[in-house]
A = this chain, B = another copy of it.
């Protein structure tokens, strides 16, 4: 080991789902939207003036912030934007989870939460789920340094109603509560209305899932202006210009075409419900997902085996060889053709 390596921070990074380079695969492993984004994206890209790229973008990304504010009927001062919701959440962790008390989040949830806690040296306590994989709001009344909950939760897909969220936010006036609504548009109901009532609630969403814009890297948070100001102070201590001119223009265009994404979400919900029936017939069990994925366990065959057999057939789903969840596959809801391929392959594997 070189001498300078003593001063290096050795991080254990998050491992994202595989991004295979092959084209001819059925990719149901990273919860991408099977439909292209709104045609407004095409127009916005075409309208970009390449000559303007010599200039920095607006550091406040005002065009995008205003578009989001108008769409969600909040003030621009209540909106924070970042390079995907991972960037937004990471800034929120850095900003709000700054005490010696443990931050609370479910034991089974988005697997970046403990990675951020580690990198920012935030103490945390992972709270077990109920046996049916649901979250018990009562568990989030312990003394804490902050709370983060994905709703619907990942990778279970289970949605928690607004009353339950409100009970958590209300019980914790001394902490910021982050609700990560990456998958909210697939049948859940956003707790956004609560930000007017509770100044300690931050709602985080993304353009990567329901708006089919994972490739552009846009996420956002909404909360009272004081929360957003604190986040911007941290953001401007790291990088003044995180949002490119392309991201700002494309993001603003897509947020103005809500009809389009609501249509594709409706299609995905329909396909999901159909897929649930097909999977049940094949011997799978799963919690009732309100997200664009299904977290499914087969009654007799090991998830690992199914994962590998599907991969041989060029169908990629997500599998974690970890306690509690190693019996499950997380299957992204694709088009109905994708799901037919999946159920055909599973029928073949299970026969």
Where the two chains meet, the residues of A that have a C-beta atom closer than 8 Å to any C-beta of B are 2-16, 19, 27, 30, 32-37, 39, 41-42, 45-46, 48, 50-59, 83-84, 86-87, 90, 94-99, 101, 115-116, 118-119, 145-146, 172-176, 199-200, 208, 212-217, 226, 230, 232-247, 250
Q: A4-B200, A7-B98, A9-B234 are in contact. Are A16 and B216 (CB under 8 A)?
A: no
**In terms of DSSP, what is the predominant structure of the interface of chain A?**
loop
Candidates B10, B58, B145, B238; contact of A7 at CB < 8 Å: B145
Flag if B12 contacts A237 (CB, 8 Å). Answer: yes
- Closest 3 pairs between A and B when the two form their complex, measured CB to CB: A13-B236, A36-B51, A215-B245
Flag if B119 contacts A212 (CB, 8 Å). Answer: no
Flag if B116 contacts A237 (CB, 8 Å). Answer: yes
Q: How far is the CB of A227 from chain B (nearest CB, A)?
A: 9
Complex alpha-carbon distance, A87 and B91, angstroms: 13
Query: Which of A33, A118, A119 is most buried by chain B, counting CB atoms within 10 A of its CB?
Result: A119
Flag if B246 contacts A14 (CB, 8 Å). Answer: no
Complex alpha-carbon distance, A232 and B12, angstroms: 10
Complex alpha-carbon distance, A16 and B53, angstroms: 18
Candidates B13, B32, B54, B245; contact of A34 at CB < 8 Å: B54
Flag if B216 contacts A244 (CB, 8 Å). Answer: yes
Candidates B6, B119, B241; contact of A237 at CB < 8 Å: B119
Residues of B within 8 A of A241 (CB): 16, 83-84, 86, 214, 217
Candidates B41, B230, B239; contact of A84 at CB < 8 Å: B239
Q: How far is the CB of A291 from chain B (nearest CB, A)?
A: 16
Residues of B within 8 A of A244 (CB): 83, 215-217, 244, 246-247
Residues of B within 8 A of A240 (CB): 14, 16, 86
Q: Can you list 12 A-B pairs with a CB-CB distance of less than 8 A? A: A7-B176, A8-B98, A9-B234, A11-B236, A11-B237, A14-B237, A30-B56, A53-B214, A53-B250, A55-B214, A244-B247, A246-B246
Flag if B33 contacts A54 (CB, 8 Å). Answer: yes
Flag if B237 contacts A57 (CB, 8 Å). Answer: no
Residues of B within 8 A of A57 (CB): 214-215, 217
Flag if A32 contacts B55 (CB, 8 Å). Answer: yes
Residues of B within 8 A of A13 (CB): 232-237
Complex alpha-carbon distance, A96 and B176, angstroms: 31
Q: A19-B59, A119-B237 are in contact. Are A4 and B174 (CB under 8 A)?
A: yes
Q: How far is the CB of A213 from chain B (nearest CB, A)?
A: 5
Flag if B98 contacts A9 (CB, 8 Å). Answer: yes
Flag if A217 contacts B242 (CB, 8 Å). Answer: yes
Q: A7-B101, A36-B52 are in contact. List 19 more A-B contacts (CB 8 A).
A: A2-B200, A4-B96, A8-B176, A13-B234, A14-B236, A15-B236, A19-B56, A36-B51, A36-B54, A46-B46, A53-B213, A53-B250, A54-B213, A56-B215, A116-B237, A116-B238, A119-B238, A216-B245, A217-B243
Residues of B within 8 A of A54 (CB): 32-37, 212-215
Complex alpha-carbon distance, A2 and B173, angstroms: 8
Q: How far is the CB of A151 from chain B (nearest CB, A)?
A: 19
Q: How far is the CB of A320 from chain B (nearest CB, A)?
A: 16
Query: Which of A33, A146, A173, A239 is most buried by chain B, counting CB atoms within 10 A of its CB?
Result: A239
